[in-house]
Copies of this chain bind each other. A is one copy, B any other.
Amino acid sequence: MTEPVDPADAEDFLRLFYTEHPNEGDADRRVAWVRAEIDLTGTYHHTTAELTFGAQVAWRNSARCIGRLYWRSLRVRDLRAVRTADDVAEHCVQHLRQAWNGGKLRPLMSVFAPEAPNRPAPRIWNELLIRYAGYPTEDGGVLGDPRYLGFTDRVTTLGWRPTEPRGAFDVLPLVVETPEEGPRLYDLPADAVREVPITHPELPWLTELGLRWHAVPAISNIRMVIGGVSYPAAPFNGWYMGTEIGARNLADTERYNLLPEVARRLGLDTSSETTLWRDRALVELNRAVLHSFAAAGVTITDHHTESDRFLKHVAKEQRAGRTCPADWSWIVPPMSGSQTPVFHRYYDTEHLRPEFVLDDDAAH
């Protein structure tokens, strides 16, 4: 059951909107209107300008995101009127096509209906719009992405059948749930799932590993809260920082865990940790990721460049008279931490709104 919106939350947001948009007119009038609307209905409607600004500021306030320099560039698709699962799924597909933009990725968000008292909203079950299935194998291992073993199992129970033979990079179906229809499954059309085959600038055998990754990272299970109104389905994407793929998705021991194989192919001595075989394999895998995206003409960034940009962003926010909350343990990249300038300082940890909220706050 959704609680009525707290009018104070609404007012805080509206005053922020008018402070940052001095030409938009009179805050007091809008606040009075919204208070009346909340009185009557328990919630209120954001204007499209408010929604767009709210989404941009939710990004600006994302303490874990290193990519915030371009927060003003976020485009927002106002899809609050979309109600059926079919339509939500279709608009997710369109989102992926628009975000792709021929390889020159665009930061984009699609905002579906908010929650309202007595009116639950559609939800997307997937953590990201595009992710790969994980299957248990006979020998106790996993084919594909171990992170999605549970999700793969759930969609299979709901009737999903992967194309045979199963592979390590089978795109999972979208699961959209509406109060009226329950969860429904949708296979993503091939042209919405752009992928990059992973090759290495110097090591031909890396191509033989048959690795690939999807181009558009679109998070779809994070709730956006603006001025007290909660948007549970508001998938958004930027572009990848290489380490997300090369140092986490493909390298984490609980994910594709590819470093032992890469090290073996590199001929490294893996008999002892002191040879730093993990570290060497990690660098080569990350070089491969950055090289492959560049070769395919798909936007990507590296952790050194992005760290510099982030510190520019922090300085810019300071000049604008704003604090920039940041979570050190998420901002510092997962490899070569101390070689990036973001390592060598502290950050504000104040919590600001509008915001993104993870309903299930798992460790990263």
**Residues on A facing B (Cβ under 8 Å):** 242, 247-248, 251-254, 259, 273-276, 278-280, 282-283, 286-287, 290, 294, 302, 304-305, 328-329, 332-339, 341, 343-346, 363-364
Query: Which residues from chain B contact A287 at a C-beta distance below 8 Å?
Result: 275-276, 280
Complex formed: what's the CA distance from A305 to B274 in Å?
A: 8
Q: In the bound complex, do residue A304 and residue B273 qualify as a contact, i.e. CB atoms below 8 Å apart?
A: yes
Assess A251 versus B339: contact at CB under 8 Å? Given A276-B287, A294-B274, A302-B276: yes
A363:B337 contact, CB within 8 angstroms: no
CB-defined A-B contacts under 8 Å, sample of 29: A247-B339, A252-B344, A253-B339, A253-B341, A259-B339, A273-B302, A273-B305, A274-B305, A275-B287, A276-B286, A276-B287, A278-B304, A279-B286, A279-B336, A282-B339, A283-B283, A328-B329, A329-B332, A332-B337, A334-B338, A334-B339, A334-B343, A335-B335, A335-B336, A335-B337, A336-B336, A337-B337, A344-B363, A345-B363
- Cross-chain contact B274 with A302 (CB below 8 angstroms): yes
CA distance A276 to B341 in the complex (A): 15
Secondary structure type dominating chain A contacts: helix
Given contacts A254-B344, A329-B328, A363-B346, contact A280 B283 (CB under 8 A): yes
Chain B residues with CB under 8 A of A248:
338
A83 to chain B, nearest CB (A): 39
Bound complex: CA of A275 vs CA of B284, how far in Å? Answer: 10
Give the docked Cα–Cα distance between A355 and B276 (Å): 33
Measured between beta carbons, the chain B residues less than 8 angstroms from A286 are 276, 279
The chain B residue sitting closest to A242, CB to CB, is: B274
For A335, list chain B residues within 8 Å (CB): 279, 335-339
* Given A275-B287, A334-B338, 11 new contacts (CB under 8 A): A247-B338, A248-B338, A274-B290, A278-B339, A279-B286, A280-B283, A282-B336, A282-B339, A334-B336, A335-B335, A335-B337
A18 to chain B, nearest CB (A): 37
User: Which residues in B have their C-beta under 8 angstroms from that of A328?
Assistant: 329
Q: How far is the CB of A335 from chain B (nearest CB, A)?
A: 5
| A346, closest chain B residue (CB) | B363
Give the chain B neighbours of A254 by CB distance below 8 A.
344
Q: For A280, what are the chain B residues with a Cβ–Cβ distance below 8 Å?
A: 283, 287
Cα A279 to Cα B336 with chains together (Å): 6
